[in-house]
Amino acid sequence: MNLCGYVRESINEGKGLRAVLFISGCRHACPGCFNQEAWDFEAGEPFTAELKSRIIEEIADNPLLEGVTLCGGDPFFSAEECICFLSELKERCPEKNIWAYTGYTFEALMRQPKLERLALMCDVIVDGKFLEQEKDVSLPFRGSRNQRLVDVPNSVKQGYVVEITLP
């Protein structure tokens, strides 16, 4: 897996102050995507054990961070590596919440065991492909009206998608 970007502190990719990892690689190829450079699985730098440890250490050392967001590309195309990262992160920082962006729908993630495993490690998933004809810059934390902010634990508990509503 490659990492094509890392932002230590951001308020743009989820609620609260967050560390954001941009995972390289995406096959959705949504027209109008804001980060087409991240489609290439070789973009950025290898996500080595040293880089992973350094990022986890930085996150653990920052008491202002509310959570971590996985963006891309699409982190679900690198599910196994993201699962390893989040397992280590959650062991070190169990209080941090996890958001992830994906072009898959939540329902599609839950039908594929490897993707489901990563989805279940998240608190919120912003799901659905970016659709240029649905673009709406007024929406918090997403680019098009078809995308949802899925409350993962409540969705699993209820047995249907529960969306987060923001003021």
Residue 167 confidence (pLDDT) above 90? no
Is 42 within the bounds of a domain? yes
Residue 131 confidence (pLDDT) above 90? yes
Number of independent structural domains in the chain: 1
Is 166 within the bounds of a domain? no
Check residue 27 and give its pLDDT.
96
CA–CA separation, 167 and 153 (whole Å): 20
Residue 102: both structure tokens together: 């994906």
Confidence band of 165 (pLDDT split at 50, 70, 90): confident
* Segment 47-84, tens digit of pLDDT: 999 999 999 999 999 999 999 999 999 999 999 999 99
Residue-range definition of the domain harbouring residue 108: 2-158
87 CB-near residues (< 8 Å, 6+ apart): 121
- Residue whose C-alpha is closest to residue 165's, from 142, 132, 135, 133: 142
Mean pLDDT for the chain overall: 96
Alpha-carbon torsion 70, 76, 81, 85, what sign?
positive
Residue 26 confidence (pLDDT) above 80? yes
CA–CA separation, 2 and 119 (whole Å): 20
CA–CA separation, 130 and 149 (whole Å): 13
Is 94 within the bounds of a domain? yes
Q: Taking residues 122-146, what's their average pLDDT?
A: 96
CATH number at 54 reads: 3.20.20.70
Confidence band of 130 (pLDDT split at 50, 70, 90): very high
Q: What angle do CA 101, 44, 62 make, to 5 degrees?
A: 60
Check residue 123 and give its pLDDT.
98
122 CB-near residues (< 8 Å, 6+ apart): 70, 98, 99, 100, 152
Of all residues in the chain, what percent carry a pLDDT higher than 70?
A: 99
Is 134 within the bounds of a domain? yes
Is 86 within the bounds of a domain? yes
Is 51 within the bounds of a domain? yes
pTM of the complete model beyond 0.85: yes
Is 57 within the bounds of a domain? yes
CA–CA separation, 7 and 18 (whole Å): 8
Is 130 within the bounds of a domain? yes
Q: What angle do CA 119, 91, 77 make, to 5 degrees?
A: 30
38 CB-near residues (< 8 Å, 6+ apart): 4, 5, 22, 23, 24, 25, 26, 44, 71, 72, 73
